Amino acid sequence: MPWPAGDNPLRLCRMALGSDNQDMSRTLYSILLICIAALGLPAQEVLRGEVWVDIEPIHGEYVDAVYPLDTQSVYRRALEESAMFYSAMIYGWSFDYDIGERTRGIAEVFELTPLGVIPFGDPGLFATDVQVRDMCLYLWTDYRLSAEQRRRMGIWKSGTVRTAQATGYGPLGNPVERSDWISIKKTVLEDAARSAVRTMLRGSERNRPKEVRGYISLSSFPKYWVESGQWAASARFRVEIIEIIPFAAY
């Protein structure tokens, strides 16, 4: 159940935000009314994840261009980030990885192509729980899969797909507009995907290949934090390698 027995979601909203922030409370009410309506839907396969958004985004010397974030921006960021992660879990990417070699002057290039996108406002995405603490909003969401999306998830769980976990890094940004903000989070996630594929190859290939192609998706929502003046994200991926090209082919 999305809500603990005996608790009303609107009451939980008031408890999370406090009586002094009425604008944010009203926005929460609107989001959570969607959740209440969702409780009457028939049971189906559901994905679940949590994101957090800084209400007063300051990281070291970097201050967001919008500071502090207004209520609408906070919730839009949380829902856009959730949609990005569900897209990566359900559809994933195809990848082309030129591993590179410094001694031969070959640059490392990792290219990802999205195989599908869940847009902001997708009817399958529901907010289910929210908390505000330490000037951060923590939002849990559910995503209800369609029949086609369930089929795609089944492919990601097939026997030829392996799992790998890695950490990616990227710049904090200075300053950050809303569109740039989601791009920064995406860049960090893509670097984690690159690291996951590279780690997998080190464990399975005796000789470093020239190039690798395949498919990759998120296994679950990643965890973000700030480390040494940059964003970091730890993520678990599902990876299917379809072609390995050795240096001998060149």
Q: Where are the domains of the chain?
A: 9-249
The per-residue pLDDT for range 43-55, each reduced to its tens digit, is 568 999 999 998 8
The per-residue pLDDT for range 70-117, each reduced to its tens digit, is 888 899 999 999 999 999 999 999 999 999 777 777 889 999 999 999
CB 217 within 8 A of CB 92: yes
Q: Tell me how crowded residue 203 is: count the other CB atoms within 10 A of its CB.
A: 8
Integer angstrom CA distances of residue 83 from 113, 119, 121, 227, 249: 17, 7, 9, 25, 40
In the predicted model, what is the mean pLDDT of residues 32-53?
67
Instruction: Locate 156 and state its tokens.
Output: 């990601």
pLDDT at residue 23, as a whole number = 52
Integer angstrom CA distances of residue 208 from 44, 73, 113, 124, 205: 43, 45, 23, 42, 7
Residue type at position 84: M
Question: What distance separates the 2 farthest-apart alpha carbons in the chain?
Answer: 68
CB 95 within 8 A of CB 214: yes
- Whole-prediction pTM: 0.79
CB 237 within 8 A of CB 196: yes
